[in-house]
Structure 1
């Protein structure tokens, strides 16, 4: 059951990435992040209301509330860097870097949840890292060696990496809570924290004027991307509640295959020959990682 839910969530996330990339092209990353997560919050609230699960609030213990607060705070920062990275880089390389979430989740799950690391997972990790590096062009690889990457035009690489690490931390915090509370209920409160913090960051950056600069077409893609992301995240949190975090995050990251294919069609992004080899290696690594679980 949880495997099916994870796969469906992947389809939604794959589409949402492309829609968000199109929308964010001529929009501010902070606006996109705040609006997208506001829609995500509405998705969780609506699902919880529809299923009548809010009566479980009385069963939520102290650890659940701590988990919600901690994961929400970490996830809010992850989303900031996610949209900064998505706006700055190509979809293919951005998602390749995001796939490192699998590696970070593996380590964190092994340390804190005592999930086992197998030989297949180790080999898959090497393939994922190697594939990611091969997908980068010369300028991007050069930026990695530059100690001042934060100040360069390629700093989106660092943003994407930070986002991946923080997202992994947040997901493992969620998984560590064993309380039998419906995920749409806990995610509602988690995303209240995320949305509040993102809007605080938005106003602290004095981005209010950027609303007027966003064209209606951009708003359409931003909102469509947010809706698809909302559906995907509702499902992935449900899967996390039911199944193994490392496996779910592996399947979840396979959404990059959909996104990269769509990026060629709608964004006309291209990969060099070594990039396609890296992509194949990356996908094979993700699959091998899942088999290892």
Structure 2
């Protein structure tokens, strides 16, 4: 089932890139991100409340809070940078480079989470990186 969720997330992300690029043509990229962020907050807290997970907030450990807060700041930084890149470049070239995060995620997971890397994962990451660079640098 995780594959269905992952592919659905990928499709949603691709749609976000397309809609965001269309939306920032006449709007500052930071302002566009701020508008979307308000909706992200409203929708995410609505889901938490609807699922009955609000009481779990009090049970989160301090260390987990630190991880989540740092990840939240980095999510904002990543999105602001992505929006700026979309404002300046073509979506078809920006998106592959922002999805280079896959390669970085594999490296960070191996180093910090001690995840084992198979030759297939390494080969796939190399091919993903090559593909992303090929698309991003293509003349067109």
Q: TM-score w.r.t. structure 1 length?
A: 0.45
> Which structure has the larger Rg over C-alpha atoms?
1
Which residue of the partner structure matches residue 103 of structure 2? 257
Cα distance in 1, alignment partners of residues 23 and 60 from structure 2: 40
Q: Could you tell me which runs of 5 or more consecutive residues in structure 1 were left unpaired when the two chains were aligned.
A: 1-154
Aligned Cα root-mean-square deviation (Å): 1.6
Which residue of the partner structure matches residue 246 of structure 1? 92
Q: CA deviation at 1:156?
A: 2.0
Correspondence 1:284 to 2:122: no
Correspondence for 2:72 among 220, 226, 231: 226
How many correspondences in the alignment? 139
Q: Could you tell me which runs of 5 or more consecutive residues in structure 2 were left unpaired when the two chains were aligned.
A: none
Q: CA deviation at 1:213?
A: 2.4
Which residue of the partner structure matches residue 196 of structure 1? 42
Cα distance in 2, alignment partners of residues 284 and 202 from structure 1: 39
Q: TM-score w.r.t. structure 2 length?
A: 0.89
Cα distance in 1, alignment partners of residues 102 and 32 from structure 2: 27
Cα distance in 2, alignment partners of residues 257 and 202 from structure 1: 30
If asked which structure has higher relative contact order (CA below 8 Å, sep 6+), I would say 1
Cα distance in 1, alignment partners of residues 3 and 56 from structure 2: 24
Q: 3-state DSSP class of the match of 1:165?
A: helix
